[in-house]
Each structure stands twice: as structure tokens, then as C-alpha cells.
């Protein structure tokens, strides 16, 4: 009878976490990347003479977003240039925005995005000025 009672109680009692268990936060996740200009194929088309472009990102479990400009080609990571970053303002903030003041006459580059939190998420978009 005692064994039956213990079994019934264990089935009816919700499991409680052990006191020393840690809750592991979710890793960063880049949900979307938008710009002021349309995408044609795999490339964001920036009109010649454009002086500014705004990047809008939605990312979960992210504290900071870094935006790197990299030349096209292979093995160009070491040639990257940090364009800027955006930092989460509060716990509900999952929108990140950065406006790049373009200081070049032409663009044929990758924009590499890193979402930093409990880990790193990466994404890349292609930029071309025509």
C-alpha cells in the first residue's frame, strides 16, 4: 500500500528542477535583415551616388550586433572593416538598426553580420552599387 501511494504521488507531483541546475539561455538567432534597397538575386542593389544605407535586423537572444564590410573573393576575412554595431536597449528589444554613411564611389562587397549573445550567429548579405 505504501509503495502504491508513493507511486501515485510521484506521478501526480510535477517535476521540480534540482537546486543546482542551470538554465541555459538560447543561442543568438538572426531572423531577418532588411535594407532601404531591393534585392536582385543574391545582391542588394544600391543606386550609384547613394550616401547612406540603413540595415534593420531582427535577432533573438542577442545582446549586440556587429556589421563587417568584406571584399568579395576568397579568404578575405582578414580584410574586413567594422562598419558599426548596435546594442540591445532592454530585455524586450530584438530590433537592431545601423545606418552606414557611404564614403566610397563603388561597392561590390559582402556585409557580414554577427549576432552576439550566449554564442554567435552569423549571416552575410551581398552589396553592389550600380
What is the model's pTM?
0.80
DSSP class of 22: P
Contact indicator for 25, 61 with CB cutoff of 8 Å: yes
Non-local (6+) Cβ contacts of 95 within 8 A are: 56, 57, 58
Q: Return per-residue pLDDT of the chain as tens, 130 residues.
A: 665 555 555 555 565 556 677 788 899 999 999 999 999 999 999 999 999 999 999 999 999 999 999 999 999 999 999 999 999 999 888 999 999 999 999 999 999 999 999 999 999 999 999 8
Question: Looking at the 3D structure of the chain, how many domains does it have?
Answer: 1
β-strand partners of 110: 70, 126
Position 92 scores a pLDDT of 87
Non-local (6+) Cβ contacts of 114 within 8 A are: 65, 66, 68, 120, 121, 122
User: What is the CATH classification number for the domain harbouring 48?
Assistant: 2.60.40.10
Domain assignment present for residue 92? The answer is: yes
Domain assignment present for residue 52? The answer is: yes
Position 1 scores a pLDDT of 60
Task: Supply the range of the domain harboring residue 63.
Answer: 20-129
Position 11 scores a pLDDT of 54
Amino acid at each position: 500500500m505504501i509503495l502504491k501511494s508513493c507511486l501515485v504521488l510521484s506521478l501526480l507531483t510535477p517535476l521540480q528542477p534540482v537546486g543546482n541546475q542551470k538554465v541555459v539561455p538560447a543561442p543568438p538567432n538572426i531572423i531577418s535583415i532588411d535594407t532601404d534597397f531591393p534585392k536582385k538575386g543574391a545582391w542588394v542593389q544600391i543606386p550609384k551616388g547613394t550616401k547612406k544605407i540603413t540595415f534593420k535586423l531582427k535577432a533573438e537572444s542577442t545582446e549586440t550586433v556587429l556589421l563587417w564590410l568584406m571584399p568579395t573573393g576568397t579568404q578575405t576575412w582578414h580584410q574586413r572593416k567594422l562598419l558599426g554595431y548596435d546594442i540591445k536597449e532592454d530585455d524586450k528589444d530584438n530590433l537592431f538598426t545601423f545606418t552606414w554613411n557611404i564614403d566610397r564611389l563603388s561597392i561590390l562587397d559582402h556585409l557580414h553580420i554577427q549576432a552576439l549573445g550566449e554564442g554567435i550567429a552569423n549571416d552575410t548579405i551581398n552589396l553592389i552599387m550600380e
